[in-house]
Amino acid sequence: MAYSFALIVITGLIFNWLFEKIKLPGLLGMLIAGVLLGPWGFDLLKPDIMAVSADFRKIALIIILLRAGLGLKKETLSKVGPAAFRMSIIPCLLEGSALLIMSVWVFDMGWLEAGIMGFAIAAVSPAVVVPAMLEYSRRGIGSDKGIPTLILAGASADDIFAITIFTAFLGLYAGEKASIAAGVLNAGISVVSGIILGLIIGFIFVKFFSKYHIRDTKKVLIILGSAILMTALEDLIKGSFAVSSLLGIMTVGFILIEKLPKASERIAVKFGKIWILAEILLFVLVGAKVNIDVIFDAGLAGLIIILAGLVIRSAGVLLSIMKCNLNVKEKAFCVIAYIPKATVQAAIGAVPLAMGVKGGELILAMAVLSIIITAPIGAIGIRIGAKKLLHHPNNVPQTTNKIQGGRGT
C-alpha cells in the first residue's frame, strides 16, 4: 500500500500543478491522474489501496464539511438564513428529480436506480465552492450582501440534502423501507437528529477546549477523529434510527466558530492544510475507479442529461433568490457558483457499484462525467465571476444590506 500511496500523492501533485498552469481546475488533473493509474489506464495501483478507497473518500468529505461549518458565522448567516435554506433544497430537488425522470426515459433505468443516480449527480461541489467562498469572505468580495456566506451555507447543506435523498433511495433499493413516503420521512428524521447530534458534540468540544489547554494540532485530530466516529455511529444504528452524521459534522464546525472564534480560525487553517492531501486521495482514487468504456457508452445522451439538469438547477437557484435584494450580476454569480460538481460525486459515485446496484457502473460513469463537464466550467466561472460580477471592498463601500429571506425588499 505504501508504494501505491506514494504514487497517488506524487502523480496527483504533478497533474494538479500542470492543470493549474493551463488555468484549469487542479482537481480535473487529479481525476485524470487516477484514470491513468487505475485498471483502465496503466494499472499501477495495488488492490489493497483500492480496497480502502471508500474510507479515504469519506474522510475527504468529512474534512470539507468541517471547513464549511467553520466558515459559517452567526451574524452573517442571519442575513442569509431563509435564502440559504431555499438554496440548499430547491435547486438540488429540481435537478435531482429532472435527472431521475430523464434517466428512466433515456437509459431505461428503474425508478430507484434512476433516483440513486439523479441525487448522486445533483449535489454541488464543496471542494470547488467552499475554498473559493471562504477566500472571498476573507477578502470582503461580495460580503456587503453576504453572498459568499449565502453560497457557502446553501451549497454545504445542498450536499447533505442530496446525500440524504441518495441514501434514502439506496435504502429503498435494498428493501430497507416499504415506500417512498417512508423514505422521505426517514430523510427528515435524519436531518433533525443530525443537527441535534452536531449540537451536542459541538458544545462538548467547546467545554473541553475551554477548560483544558491543548495544542491546535491535537484539537484538529480530536475533531477529525470524532467526526469519523459520528459517521460510524450512523452506520451502526441506521437499521433502527436515522441520523445525518454529515449534517452533524458541519454543525460541529458552526458551534466551534461561534463559541471559540479565535481558536476555530486557527483550526480552520490547519484543516485547510490537511485538505491538500485529502483532495489528492479523493480525486485520484475516484479516477482510478472509473470504467472509461462505460463513460463512452453514456456518450451524447449522458452529456445532454447532465446539461439539462444544470439548466433546471439554475432555474432553481434563481427561484431561491428571487426575493433577495441582489442585482442581476449578483444573481448570475449565484447561478455560476452552483454549477461545479466534484466532491460528492467523487465520494458517493462508486457506492452503488460497490453495493451491487443494477447499472452501478453507469451511475459511476455519469458521476465522473458530471465532474469532467462541470468542475472546469464552474471553477473558471466562479473565478471570473467574482472579478466581474461582485462588489469589491476597495471600490465599493461596505453596507449593512441584507439578503431578505421572506418578502422582497
Q: Give the DSSP per-residue string, 36-87.
A: HHSTTTT--S-HHHHHTHHHHHHHHHHHHHHHHHHT--HHHHHHHHHHHHHH
Give dist(CA 327, CA 325) in Å, integer. Answer: 7
Provide the CATH number for the domain around residue 156.
Answer: 1.20.1530.20
Asked if the structure places residue 9 within a domain, the reply is no
- Write out the residue range of the structural domain in which residue 188 sits: 60-389
What is the DSSP-derived secondary structure letter of residue 164?
H
Q: Which of 53, 122, 56, 44 is nearest to 89 (CA)?
A: 122
pLDDT tens for 18-57 read 998 987 778 888 988 998 998 888 999 988 898 888 788 8
Asked if the structure places residue 67 within a domain, the reply is yes
What mean pLDDT value characterizes the chain?
86
From the number of C-beta atoms within 10 Å of its C-beta (0-12, 13-18, 19+), residue 222 rates as middle
For helices 216-237 and 261-288, angle between their N-to-C axes, nearest 10 degrees: 60
Ramachandran bin of 142, using left for φ above 0, alpha for ψ from -120 to 50, beta for the remaining angles: left
What is the DSSP-derived secondary structure letter of residue 144?
G
Q: Which of 323, 357, 325 is nearest to 144 (CA)?
A: 325
Asked if the structure places residue 244 within a domain, the reply is yes
Torsion, Cα 189 195 199 201, to 10 degrees, reads 80
Asked if the structure places residue 93 within a domain, the reply is yes
Number of domains in the chain: 1
pLDDT tens for 184-226 read 677 678 888 989 999 999 999 999 999 999 999 999 999 999 9
Asked if the structure places residue 338 within a domain, the reply is yes
pTM given for the model? 0.78
pLDDT tens for 327-386 read 999 999 999 999 998 878 877 887 888 888 998 989 988 988 898 889 888 988 998 999
The pLDDT assigned to 181 comes to: 64
Asked if the structure places residue 309 within a domain, the reply is yes
Asked if the structure places residue 355 within a domain, the reply is yes
pLDDT tens for 117-157 read 999 999 998 878 888 898 898 899 998 888 998 998 888 88
Asked if the structure places residue 173 within a domain, the reply is yes
Q: What is the DSSP string of 7-26?
A: HHHHHHHHHHHHHHHTTS-H
